[in-house]
Structure 1
Amino acid sequence: MKNVTIAEVAEHAKVSKSTVSQYLNKRYEYMSENTRKRIEASIEELNYHPNVIARSLKQKSTFTVGVIVANILHSFSTQILRTIENNFNGQGFHTIICNADDEPEKERNYIEMLLAKQVDGLIIFPTGGNLDLYEQMKKRNFPVVFMDRKIEGLEIETVMLDNHRAAELAIRKFTESGYSKVAIVTTSIIRNTSPRVERIEGYRKALEDANLTANPAYIQTADAEKIQNVLEDLFALEEPPEAILAGNDIVLIEVLKFMKEQQLHIPKDVAVIGIDEVPFASFYSPPLTVVSQPTIEMGNLAAELLLKQINGTSEKESSVVHRLQPSLIDRDSC
């Protein structure tokens, strides 16, 4: 089957090759609607498919970006990934998505693989364990954006939630509802994962603002598979908590499993708020109060920042950390 060339499309549509090229690159500014329709019809009629390899060689770009997510099991991660992929697909880029499972060595392998494939840029939910690689990319001015987590001392554009505010919204809701014995449970902070650390800081500050003292026994962190043990210890205390802030969606699921196994009723026995909206929150019984992240805005912003770096149009800003605001979705679990 003969491959159709861009010259044949141009001849069929009665336009120049450069006009077809502009159409394929979505540069429509100086192109009439009639011209666009003729080119579109010619491409369809001739069954033309652009030669991606030739395009890459000519423009010195692979039109591919990589996204390395720390843990794809988070609802937050999958929502962000979909937004990022949609953005780049609309710009004619392919997206390679990798899951690091919160393991620095796995993240390192993916970074090295994607760089070897000559992707045009990377969006990374960093594990925090590959500082040398992050620094190398920064020194080379390689287009990279961090998502969700910041790395201290590195001037790399980062998109993340205002985590202090997220915890504050939850604690304020608890205290306004009359709860004073409030615990926070989150996944491990062994590598100082910034969202988890900041949410604990926000929890402490919000309790202080409410004239309450943070009980150290109520602040618990552990790997996901050990959350059940942490909850058992919490409720074995002489004064168990009246309310629990689940630091992310994985912790929230473990909390709900524990409540069911222990036949504890929400919010009668224990009030619960989770950080991160989850698909089942609105129809769980009772419907769950959550602090939601603006995932679409965050994904859009990360894609925009990376595209600007790739295109060489990014501007130097006073702050490279872009903080987006959470919102409380008030339901019936508190």
Structure 2
Amino acid sequence: MKKITISDVAKQANVSRSTVSQYLNHRFDYMGEKTRDRIEQVIEELGYQPNIVARSLKQKSTKTIGVIVANILHNFSTEVSRAIEDVCHEVDIHTIICNADDEPKKEKKYIDMLRAKQVDGLIIFPTGGNKQLYQNMIDENYPVVFVDRKVDGIPVSSIMLDNHKSSKLAVDHCVEKGYDQIGIITTSIIRDVTPRLERLEGYERALNNRGIPIREEYKKSVEIESIQSTLHEMLQQDNPPQAVIAGNDLALIEILKYVKGHRLAMPEDLAVLGIDDVSFASFYSPPITTIAQPTFEMGEKAATVLLGKIQKQETKDEGIDIRFDPMLIPREST
């Protein structure tokens, strides 16, 4: 079966090849509505499919970016990726989303694969385990933006939450509710993941500011599968915490599993607060107090900064760290 070409479309629509090309590239400034409609109709009748590879070689752009999230299970990752896709869709840029599962080897595989596909730029939620690869992209002036995390020594624009402030909001809220024995559980900090480290630092600062002693047995960072047993040990102490802060949404889910499994009442037996808002927080029983990130605004900023880099434009507010403010959403779990 003969492959339909742009020349076939031009001939049947009675226009030049360049006019069809302008139509395909959405350049309608000097094109009448009837001409556009005619070309669209012919393309549909003939079943014409543009040769994307040829177009990208000619334009030196694939009109595609890659997004590599550290862990797609995080509510944060999903919402930020959606916002990135929304911004790119508006300017006819395609997105390829990959999940690294917090594994540096998998992240490297996706970076290499996406660059082999000649995507125009990358938005990465970095695992932190590929410093030389990140540095190589910088040295090549390849457009790249980090989200949620930064990597020491790598000067890449990073879109992040003010994590210290999020912990301060959490601790201050607990104190104002009458709790002075406040614990925190985060997922593992083995790879120096920025938000986890900063939330722990912010927790300690907030306790110091309130004159509350820091108790190491109240501050834990463990793998997801150990969170419930860690909370159990914490609550078996002679002076167990009255409130516990979940360092992210995955930690919160494990804490809630433990609370339900042991039939604890919130907040009477244990007050629970999560950093990262989750979709079920408002209708859980009781509703969960959370510290929300402006995920869609962060995703929009990441996309805007990357597109500015691709177009070699200066982007307003661009810097090494671009921080967003968290927001306390008080509910009945505290």
Q: Same fold (TM over 0.5)?
A: yes
Q: Map 1:1-334 onto structure 2 (within 5 A).
A: 2-10=2-10, 17-28=17-28, 36-37=36-37, 39-315=39-315, 319-334=319-334
Unmatched 5+ stretches in structure 2: none
CA contact (8 A) 2:63 2:94 kept: yes
State the alpha-carbon separation in 2 of the partners of residues 178 and 136 from structure 1.
51
Aligned residue pair count:
334
Report the Cα offset of residue 158 of structure 1.
1.0
State the alpha-carbon separation in 2 of the partners of residues 74 and 323 from structure 1.
19
CA contact (8 A) 1:145 1:158 kept: yes
CA RMSD of aligned residues (A): 2.2
CA contact (8 A) 1:72 1:99 kept: yes
CA contact (8 A) 1:164 1:202 kept: yes
Moved more, 14-23 or 273-282: 14-23
Query: What is the aligned-residue identity percentage?
Result: 54
Q: Helix, strand or coil: the match of 1:168?
A: helix
State the alpha-carbon separation in 1 of the partners of residues 228 and 302 from structure 2.
35
State the alpha-carbon separation in 2 of the partners of residues 9 and 199 from structure 1.
58
State the alpha-carbon separation in 1 of the partners of residues 265 and 60 from structure 2.
60
Report the Cα offset of residue 189 of structure 1.
0.7
Report the Cα offset of residue 249 of structure 1.
0.6
State the alpha-carbon separation in 2 of the partners of residues 10 and 171 from structure 1.
67
Report the Cα offset of residue 91 of structure 1.
2.9
State the alpha-carbon separation in 2 of the partners of residues 154 and 122 from structure 1.
15
CA contact (8 A) 1:25 1:92 kept: no
Q: Helix, strand or coil: the match of 2:98?
A: strand
CA contact (8 A) 2:183 2:219 kept: yes
User: CA-to-partner distance for each residue in 1:57-111, whole Å, 9 max, x for gaps?
Assistant: 2112223222111111111111112222233333333322221111112212222
Report the Cα offset of residue 7 of structure 1.
4.5
What amino acid maps onto 1:55 in structure 2?
R
Q: Helix, strand or coil: the match of 2:245?
A: strand
CA contact (8 A) 1:128 1:191 kept: yes
Q: Helix, strand or coil: the match of 2:303?
A: helix
State the alpha-carbon separation in 1 of the partners of residues 58 and 68 from structure 2.
27
CA contact (8 A) 1:249 1:277 kept: yes
CA contact (8 A) 1:75 1:249 kept: yes
State the alpha-carbon separation in 2 of the partners of residues 28 and 208 from structure 1.
62
Distance 1:68 1:318, change over 3 A: closer
Q: Helix, strand or coil: the match of 2:227?
A: helix
> What is the TM-score when the length of structure 1 is the normalising length?
0.91
CA contact (8 A) 1:23 1:36 kept: yes
Report the Cα offset of residue 287 of structure 1.
0.8
CA contact (8 A) 1:9 1:48 kept: yes
Moved more, 173-182 or 241-250: 173-182
Report the Cα offset of residue 124 of structure 1.
0.8
User: CA-to-partner distance for each residue in 1:98-156, whole Å, 9 max, x for gaps?
Assistant: 21111112212222222222222111111111111111111011111111100122211
State the alpha-carbon separation in 1 of the partners of residues 59 and 318 from structure 2.
32
Distance 1:210 1:30, change over 3 A: farther
State the alpha-carbon separation in 2 of the partners of residues 53 and 120 from structure 1.
13
State the alpha-carbon separation in 2 of the partners of residues 23 and 261 from structure 1.
60
Distance 1:21 1:213, change over 3 A: farther
